[in-house]
Structure 1
């Protein structure tokens, strides 16, 4: 009984390891990996001595991953996506307390009436406001400069506008983030709003980030078309 439990534990730990390493998981799902090398790597990093159990777990998980075309579903979403960009933005991070939220209530109503775009993200410790750079001083004065934690200027917002199906398709945002990360691009903020995926990057990273996302969408179009041919 204990031996069965041990093998189940090894199998679960192996699956968790593969899931936590996207590049490895991608190769496993496509059958582009040396299982002996992967087994030795997992044994070393997880301190597992049962080589046979790890090898079996890797192969079984590969069969499961290969039976579904999750990447294909992501590419179908991206091939019908488009990009929009907005420049001259800033991010204001303020304390998350009642006084700040009360002041933001009236500020938000005023900006709404003026048709100004302002995005707000609230956590337990802070409130992050993404807005046009021209609104920076006005927002800081309204909230009280003593309530401001940090201000980041010279930012750019790149929005990936996708079809409705993105709401029901997991992994699209992760796929985009991985492409940006692999290109060495630092993402200042990420926001998901219905079918829009919004990335905020520095002005210096603007061209590279836009190029990466544009190529990702173009590659998705070409891949889907090739598979359908």
Structure 2
């Protein structure tokens, strides 16, 4: 198997992520906007903000990941590139994983990098935990994008398939969001929660590419 088609799909996805002119700005704007609005509704009590902040950011991260997922495979299905990808020697799962990982790099990783600043808005302490929590958001966000890629692959031939992607992906996000929130909760369950968060992400990386590949082959038929 030649890695050339996989690398080509990766480079194409990096370019497509900025083709619409917004790139990472749209999910970043949604992520920041959703997080900023919450304090306006719950008040400014520091203890309250500190308690709900990590969970609010997990919800915002999950919803922000859905903003640009629709275009991962849809353009390939429309212009015939999908058929060409499936005719190469590379497995469809590898092509799908490469495109999804590139999409996470351009649209998902910036969300994790922004999370420390938003946590400070929720009265988080300035210490090493901010960087640790940023890592949790990056790991969890990777799982979100790969599960979201399954929805995107199933909706590749559906016009305006954003709602369908959300219906498919959001239930799959639940374990990652739960373990992520527990990992940052500071309670007794937070000791093992990072391991479960990592396990849920590894499970997504192992299973989602094959589901995406099968969905893309179905879409091409």
TM-score by shorter chain over 0.5: no
Category of TM-score, reference length = shorter chain: under 0.3
- With normalisation by structure 1, the TM-score equals 0.27
Higher relative contact order (CA 8 A, sep 6+): 2
Q: Which has the larger radius of gyration?
A: 1
- More helix by proportion, 1 or 2? 2
- With normalisation by structure 2, the TM-score equals 0.27
